[in-house]
Amino acid sequence: MATETRPASTAGGGRRNRQDEVLLAAIEIFHRKGYAAASIQDVADSVGVLKGSLYHYIDSKEDLLARIFEGSDEQSFAMMGAIENRGLTAVERLEAFSRDWSLWHLNNLERASLYFNEWRHLTGERLEQVLQKRHDYEAAVARMINDVKAEGQADPDLDARYAAFYILSAINVLSSWYRRDGPDPPEHIAQVYADMIVGMVCNSRGRKKPRKASRKKKTAA
Amino acid sequence: MATETRPASTAGGGRRNRQDEVLLAAIEIFHRKGYAAASIQDVADSVGVLKGSLYHYIDSKEDLLARIFEGSDEQSFAMMGAIENRGLTAVERLEAFSRDWSLWHLNNLERASLYFNEWRHLTGERLEQVLQKRHDYEAAVARMINDVKAEGQADPDLDARYAAFYILSAINVLSSWYRRDGPDPPEHIAQVYADMIVGMVCNSRGRKKPRKASRKKKTAA
Amino acid sequence: MATETRPASTAGGGRRNRQDEVLLAAIEIFHRKGYAAASIQDVADSVGVLKGSLYHYIDSKEDLLARIFEGSDEQSFAMMGAIENRGLTAVERLEAFSRDWSLWHLNNLERASLYFNEWRHLTGERLEQVLQKRHDYEAAVARMINDVKAEGQADPDLDARYAAFYILSAINVLSSWYRRDGPDPPEHIAQVYADMIVGMVCNSRGRKKPRKASRKKKTAA
Amino acid sequence: MATETRPASTAGGGRRNRQDEVLLAAIEIFHRKGYAAASIQDVADSVGVLKGSLYHYIDSKEDLLARIFEGSDEQSFAMMGAIENRGLTAVERLEAFSRDWSLWHLNNLERASLYFNEWRHLTGERLEQVLQKRHDYEAAVARMINDVKAEGQADPDLDARYAAFYILSAINVLSSWYRRDGPDPPEHIAQVYADMIVGMVCNSRGRKKPRKASRKKKTAA
DNA sequence: AATGAATGAGTATTCATTCAT
DNA sequence: AATGAATGAATACTCATTCAT
C-alpha cells in the first residue's frame, strides 16, 4: 500500500523527502543497534515523527529492512555492471572490482554492514532473493578469477571459488574494522586491499612483472 | 549465585551435564536466530525445560552470552599460545596460525559466528574485555607479519596492520560461507586458506622460493 | 517520553483525563495492597485498560509512585506555606498547622498513607528528595514549637525535636485509624487533634511542679 | 506440619536453634525490604541455608510472618498484663504503660515496625485475630484514660478514644524515627514520650477555659 | 536435616501494529 | 500527513513452593 504511494525522491538537489529520511535513519539505527534490537520507535524518534506516523512510509519493520536492501542491490549491481563494460583485461577487472567494491563498503559503512549482517531477518521471497544475489555475486567474482587464470596471470591450481569467498569475506568485513576518523582515506585503503587481493591471486607465478598494483605503480607507468 | 554453584562439566566423557546442555543449545540458537531475536524460551524449549528453570543455570540472557564467549576465549588463546611455543620460524608460525585458526572456525561454526557477530550485545566490563582481547589478537597477528618481514620473506612495504585486519576478517567470515555438507573437509579448506594467506604476505618478492604452501615443502627446499 | 507528552489535567471541572484516572487508581490500589504487592495489572484493570496500555501514561511502576508523591508534595508544601504567610502568632501557627495537616490526612487517606508508608520503594534521586522534604518538614515543625517556647507559651524544657516527631507521627498515622464511615466528620477530628497537640506543647504553664516522672523528678522527691 | 515438629528454643542460654535463627532473620529482612518485596531467598541467604531447606522450618511465607506476629503478641500482652497487676493509680498506669510500650518499640525496632506495618499481608483467621488484638489494645488504653478522668486528673471533655488513637499512633511510629546510633538511650526517649503523653492527658486541669480549641480563643485570653 | 533441581504462575516492561480523529 | 491512544502478544526475569535424593 505505502509502496505504491511512495513518491520518488526529488533527485536533483537539496530537498530530501521523508521517504529517504526514513530509510537513512533506519540504516543508521539498524546498523548501530542491530535490526532485531532496534525498535520502530528509535527510527521514529530519529526522523522526528511519532511511531504511528512511520506507517505512512513503510508497511512493516521487515519491509523497511527490505527497502534498504533493494537500494543496496541497485548500487552494487550498478557497480559490477560498470566494471564489466569497461573493456578491461581480467587482471584489471579484478583490481577495479576489488578497489571499487572496497570503496563502496568504506563509503557506505552502515549500509554495507547491514547488507552482510542482517539479511537473515528477511523472510520468504525476499530472503531467497537476497541469497540468490549473493550467490550471483560470488559466481561473478569466481569468474573474474578464472579469467585471470585463463590469461595466465594466476596459479592454475588456485581454487577460484574459495578465493572468491576469501576476497568477498575480507571486503565485507571492512565495515567492521574501518574507523572514519582513522588516518587513511577510503581511497587509500581500497587501493591497499586491491593490491593485496590481486597480489594474492597473481602471486607465485614465475612472472616478469607480477602485477604490483601498488600505490607506486603509477610513477613507473 | 548460579555463578558459584555452577558445577564443572564432567570432563571425562559420556555424561554431559545440564550446564553444558544449556550452553550448547544457546550457541546453536543464538547463531541461528541472532542473539537479539532469540528468546530464552527458545533455549528452554531446546533444552527441554521450563523457561524459569533455565535461571538455575544462568543469571541472565547476557550472562549466557558472556559464558559462551568465555569458552571461546579459552579455546582461541590456548590455540594461539600453542603456536607461539612450538619454536617455529615466522613464516611457519603465520602458516600454522592461519591453518589452525581457520580450522577452529570451521569446526566451531556457530561458536565462531557468535564470537564475531554478537559481541556488541555484551555490556559494561564484559564488552571491554572482549574488545581488549580482539585488539590483542590483531596485534599478535600483526606481530607475526612483521616477523615475516624481519626474516626478509615479505615485502617491506606491506602494511602489517591492514594485512592483519584482512586476514582475520577473511577467516572470521569463514563460518558464514562454509557449508558442513560441502565437498571439502575442514582440513582442506583450512590449508587452502593458510596457503592464500602466506602467499599473500610473502608474494611479489623477486624470490626463487615463492612459498608454494604445502606444510612440508620447506624441508625439501 | 511519556514525561513530555503527558497532558496537563483538564483543570476546569467535569472531564477527568486518563492521566488522572491512572494516578487515582494507583493511589487506591497501592494503598490497599501496598506498593510492592500491588501489580501494574491491578491498576490497569481498575482503569479499564490493558496492562501494556498503561505505559502510555507512565514510564515505570516506580515512576507512577513518584508521580503520586509529587502531587502530595505540592499539596503539603502549599498548605505549610499558606500557614506561614498568614501572620499568626506561634501558638496560632501550631494550632493551624496541626488542624490543617490532620485534615489533609483525613481528606486524603490513601494518598497520605502512601506518603508515609511507601516512600522506601523509591530509589536514587527520588528517594533522596523525599527524605529531604521529610527532614525539612520536621525542622519546620520543630521551629514552630521553638517559636511557642520563645513566646513563653511552652515549657522551656520541652525538647522541640522529639515533640515534632511525636506530633508528626501521630498525625501521619491518622490515616490508618480513621474510618470514613465513623461518627465524626474530619473537621471535628482535626480540631480534636489540634487541641491535643497545642495542649501538649503549651501544657504545664504556670504549674508549680508540673510533670513528675521526669528523669530529674527523683531528686526533687 | 512443621508447626508440631518445631522444637522449643533452648531457652536457657547460649545455643540458639535454627527455628529462632529463621525467625530473627525474617524479622530483619521483612523489616528492611518490606514483607511483599522480601523473598524467601533473602531469608535463606541470611540464615545460610538453601531456599528449599527453609521449608523444614516454615510452612509458607505467610506462616513465617504469622509466627513473628505470635511472638510480638505474647510480648505485648505480657507487658500490658504486668502493668495492670501492679496496683498503680490510673495516672501511674498510664505513665508506666506509655514508658514501657515506648521502650518495647525502641528495643524491638524491627519487630515493632513489622507489627504495625505488615499485618495487612496476613489473611483469613490470622488477619482477624490481629485486628481483634489491635482493637483490644486500643480499648485497654482508652480505659486507662477514662480511669484518669475518673480520678479527676484529666479534662472530662477529653475524648478517650481519640486520645488512645493518638497515643498509640505516636508510639507505633517511634520505630520509624528512632536511630539506634542517635544521642539518647531508649530509656530516655521512652521517658520523654511518657512525659508528653501524661502531660497531654492531664493538662488543662483547673483551667476555666479548658482549651476548647476554637481558632479565635487566643485573642480572648 | 539439607540439597538443588524443577515447576508454574506471575511480574514489569517492550513493541510492532492499528485506527479513529 | 500526522497524531496518540490502544492493543495484544511477547520478553526477560522472579519467586514461593515441591520433591526425590
Report the CATH number that the domain containing residue D33 is assigned in CATH. Answer: 1.10.10.60
C-alpha–C-alpha distance, residues C17 and C10, integer Å: 7
The overall average pLDDT reported for chain D is 85
CATH number assigned to the domain comprising residue B135: 1.10.357.10
Asked whether residue D5 is domain-assigned, the answer is: no
> Nearest nt (C1') to B55 (CA)?
F13
Residue B70: what residue type?
A: E
Does residue B86 form part of some domain? yes
CB contact under 8 A, B162 and A193: yes
Q: Read off the pLDDT band of D84 (50, 70, 90).
A: confident
Q: What percent of chain C has pLDDT over 70?
A: 84
Q: Is residue D6 part of a domain?
A: no
**Rounded CA separation C21/C68 (Å):** 12
CA-to-CA separations, D186 to C213, D175, D178, in angstroms, rounded = 16, 11, 9
Look at the block and give the residue holding cell 523525599. Answer: C130
pLDDT above 90 coverage of chain B, percent: 70
Q: Say how far apart CA A221 and CA D63 lie, in whole Å.
A: 92
CA max distance for chain A: 65
Nearest to B89 by CA among B34, B22, B148: B148
Min mean pLDDT across C2-6, C141-145, D32-36, D74-78 is at C2-6
- Asked whether residue B149 falls in the same domain as residue B48, the answer is no
| A201 CB-to-strand E distance under 7 Å | no
Task: Provide CB contacts within 8 A for B179, sequence distance 6+.
Answer: none
Of B184-198, D78-92, D114-128, D191-205, give the lowest mean pLDDT range. Answer: D191-205
Tell me which long-range contacts C126-133 makes (C-beta under 8 A, separation of at least 24): C126/C62, C126/C66, C126/C69, C130/C69, C133/C73, C133/C77
Distance C141 CA to E20 C1' (A): 53
Output the pTM of the full model. 0.85
Does residue A162 surpass a pLDDT of 60? yes
Residues 93-112 of D with CB under 7 A from strand E: none
Residue D19 CA, nucleotide E1 C1', distance (Å): 12
| CB contact at 8 A, A64 and A43 | yes
The separation, in Å, between residue C71 CA and nucleotide F19 C1' comes to 50
Amino acid, single-letter form, for residue B162: Y
Inter-chain residue contact B200 with A196, CB threshold 8 Å: yes
Instruction: Indicate if C147 and C67 belong to the same structural domain.
Output: yes
User: What's the pLDDT tens digit per position in B86-103?
Assistant: 999 999 999 999 999 999
Rounded percentage of chain A residues whose pLDDT exceeds 90:
65
CA-closest candidate to residue D196, choices C152, C203, B162: C203
Report pLDDT digits (tens) over B3-56.
334 444 433 333 458 899 999 999 999 999 999 999 999 999 999 999 999 999
For residue D55, say whether its CB is under 7 Å from any atom of strand F: yes
Domain annotation covers residue B212: no
Asked whether residue B167 falls in the same domain as residue B87, the answer is yes
The 8-class DSSP code of residue D7 comes to P
pLDDT band at D16 (very low <50, low <70, confident <90, very high): low
From CA C28, how far away is CA C112, in angstroms rounded? 11
Tally of residues, chain A: 221
Assigned domain for C3 exists: no
* d(C-alpha C162, C-alpha A31), whole Å: 61
C167 interaction partners in chain D (CB closer than 8 Å):
170
Checking if the pLDDT of D9 tops 90, the result is no
Three cell numbers at B94?
603465520
Q: How far is CA A136 from each of CA A88, A121, A159, A197, B44, rounded to the nearest angstrom? A: 21, 20, 17, 20, 38
DSSP state of D109: H
> Which letter does DSSP use for residue C26 in this model?
H
Taking the C-alpha atoms of residue A191 and residue A95, their distance in angstroms, rounded to an integer, is: 9
Residue type, C110: E
Q: Looking at residue A28, what is its pLDDT? A: 97
Q: How far is it, in rounded angstroms, from Cα C190 to Cα C172? A: 12
Instruction: Report whether B34 contacts A36 (CB < 8 A).
Output: yes
Contacts of residue C74, defined as CB under 8 A and 6 or more positions apart, other chains included, come to none
pLDDT digits (tens, 9 = 90+) for B141-168: 999 999 999 999 998 988 999 899 889 9
State pLDDT tens for residues D122-138: 999 999 999 999 999 99
Whether residues C135 and C191 share a domain: the answer is yes
Q: Which of A67-76, C179-188, C197-206 has the lowest mean pLDDT?
A: C197-206
Mean pLDDT on D24-46: 96
Helix (H, G, I), strand (E, B) or coil at A182: coil
Q: Is residue B89 part of a domain?
A: yes
Question: Which are the contacts of D179, defined by CB distance < 8 A and separation ≥ 6?
Answer: none
Task: Judge if B67 and B48 occupy the same domain.
Answer: no
Beta-carbon contacts of residue D90 (< 8 Å; ≥ 6 apart): D144, D147, D148, D150, D151, D153
Q: Which one of A42, A58, A74 terminates a domain?
A: A58
Whether chains D and C touch (3+ CB pairs under 8 A) is answered by yes
CB of B204 within 8 Å of a chain A CB? The answer is yes
Under 8 Å between Cβ of A50 and A111: no
Average pLDDT for D208-215: 36
Nucleic acid strand F within 7 Å of C49 CB: yes
* Residue C193 to residue D34, Cβ atoms within 8 A: no
Does strand E come within 7 Å of the CB of C62?
yes
Percentage of the residues of chain B whose pLDDT score is greater than 70: 84
- Provide the CA A7 to C1' F3 distance, Å, integer: 22
Closest CA to B146 of B187, B91, B96, B106: B91
Integer distance in angstroms from CA C47 to C1' F2?
Answer: 28
For residue D22, the distance in angstroms to the closest alpha carbon of chain C comes to 23
Q: Is the CB of A165 under 7 A from strand E?
A: no
| Length of chain B counted residue by residue | 221
Q: What is the pLDDT of residues D168-204, one digit of tens each?
A: 988 998 988 899 998 999 999 999 999 989 988 886 5
CA distance B189 to B187: 6
In this structure, the answer to whether residues C48 and C69 fall within a common structural domain is no
Distance CA B86, CA B99 (A): 15
- Checking if the pLDDT of C9 tops 90, the result is no
Please give the grid coordinates belonging to residue D190: 521512652
**Under 8 Å between Cβ of A43 and A22:** yes
CA distance A131 to C209: 99
CB contact under 8 A, A169 and B169: yes
CA angle C172, C176, C181 (to 5 degrees): 120
Same domain flag for C26 and C106: no
The neighbour count for residue C161, using CB atoms within 10 Å, is: 15
Number of residues that this document lists for chain C? 221
The answer to whether residues D65 and D82 belong to one domain is yes
- For residue B212, pLDDT over 50 is answered with no
C52 contact to strand E (CB, 7 A limit): yes
Which domain range does residue D43 map to?
A: 17-58
**Chain A contact for B199, CB < 8 A?**
yes
- Strand E atom within 7 Å of B8 CB: no
Residue A16 pLDDT: 60
Residue D15 to residue B171: CA distance in whole angstroms: 66
- Give φ, ψ of A157 to 5 degrees: -80, -10
Interface test with B, best of A173, A178, A179, A189 (most B CBs within 10 A): A173
- Residue where the block lists cell 535463627: D21
A54 and A64, same domain (yes or no): no
pLDDT at A166: 83
User: Which of C114, C113, C128 is closest to C175 using CA atoms?
Assistant: C113
In this structure, is residue B4 part of a structural domain? no
Nearest nt (C1') from A57 Cα: F1
Residues of D in contact with C185 (CB under 8 A): none
Smallest Cα–Cα separation from C143: which of C170, C167, C173, C171?
A: C167
Q: What is the pLDDT of residues C40-75, one digit of tens each?
A: 999 999 999 999 999 999 999 999 999 999 999 999
User: Please, which pLDDT band fits residue D96 given cuts at 50, 70 and 90?
Assistant: very high
b (16+ CB within 10 A) / e for A64-97: bbbbbbeebeeebeebbeebeeeeeebbbbbbbb
B45 is near strand F: CB distance < 7 Å: no
Please state the rounded mean pLDDT for residues A123-127: 93
CA nearest neighbour of A143 among A165, A162, A160:
A160
From chain C, pick out residues whose CB is under 8 angstroms from the CB of D120.
Answer: 33-34
Q: pLDDT band at A196, cuts 50/70/90?
A: confident
Q: What is the pLDDT of residue B199?
A: 87
- The per-residue pLDDT for range A89-100, each reduced to its tens digit, is 999 999 999 999
Nearest to B95 by CA among B154, B42, B136, B45: B154
pLDDT digits (tens, 9 = 90+) for C87-120: 999 999 999 999 999 999 999 999 999 999 999 9
Phi-psi region of A87 (alpha: psi -120 to 50; beta: other; left: phi over 0): left
For residues A54 and A124, membership in a common domain is answered with no
Average pLDDT of the segment spanning D16-28: 91
User: In the prediction, which pLDDT does C16 show?
Assistant: 59
Does D219 reside within a domain?
no
∠ Cα B52 B57 B60 (to 5°): 70
Chain A contact present for B159, CB below 8 A: yes
DSSP structure string for B168-182: HHHHHTHHHH--TTS
Q: Is the Cβ atom of B3 within 7 Å of strand E at any atom?
A: no
Q: Following DSSP, what letter does each residue of B138-157 receive, concatenated?
A: HHHHHHHHHHHHHTT-S-TT
The nucleotides of chain E lying under 7 Å from a protein CB are: 1-20
Rounded CA separation B175/B35 (Å): 16
pLDDT score of B82 more than 80 = yes
- For the CA of C48 and the C1' of F5, the distance in angstroms is 13
The grid cell for D216 is: 479565635
Mean per-residue pLDDT, A17-21: 89
Rounded distance between C-alpha atoms, residue B79 and residue B96, angstroms: 10
Contact yes or no for D121 and C37 at CB 8 A: yes
Measured between alpha carbons, how far is B119 from B114 in angstroms, rounded to an integer? Answer: 7
Q: Mutate which of B161, B204, B205, B212 to disrupt the A interface (most A C-beta within 10 Å)? A: B204
Which one of A153, A200, A216 would you mutate to disrupt binding with B, by most B Cβ within 10 Å of its Cβ? A200
Give B172's contacts in chain A (Cβ within 8 Å): 169, 173
Q: How far is B78 from chain A (nearest CA, A)?
A: 24
Q: pLDDT above 70 covers what percent of chain A?
A: 84
pLDDT value at D14 more than 50 = no
- The answer to whether residue A220 scores a pLDDT higher than 80 is no
For residues D44, D45, D49, D51, the Cα torsion angle rounded to the nearest 10 degrees is: 50
Q: Give percent above pLDDT 90 in chain D.
A: 67
Would you give the distance in Å from CA A13 to the centre of its chain?
24
Q: Please name the amino acid found at residue B44.
A: A
Cβ–Cβ under 8 Å, residues C58 and C22: yes
Is B123's CB less than 7 Å from nucleic acid strand F? no
* Better pLDDT: B72 or C203: B72
Question: Which residue, among B39, B134, B54, B92, has the nearest Cα to B218 in the 3D structure?
Answer: B92
B50 Cβ contacts chain E strand, under 7 Å: yes
Q: Do D147 and D192 reside in the same domain of the chain?
A: yes
Query: Are C69 and C171 in the same domain?
Result: yes
Task: Dig out the grid coordinates for D221 from the structure.
Answer: 485570653
- Which of D135, D173, D174 to probe the C interface (max C CBs under 10 A)? D173
Length of chain D, please? 221
Band of the pLDDT at C189, cuts 50, 70, 90?
A: very high
For residue B10, give how far its alpha carbon lies from the nearest alpha carbon of chain A (Å). 36
Per the structure, the residue whose CA is closest to nucleotide E19 at C1' is: A52
Instruction: State mean pLDDT over C143-162.
Output: 93
Minimum mean pLDDT range among A150-159, A177-186, C209-218: C209-218
Q: State how many domains chain D has.
A: 2
**Closest-CA residue to C67 (of C5, C131, C24):** C24
Nucleotide with C1' nearest the B62 CA: F12
The CA distance from A192 to B159, in Å, is: 9
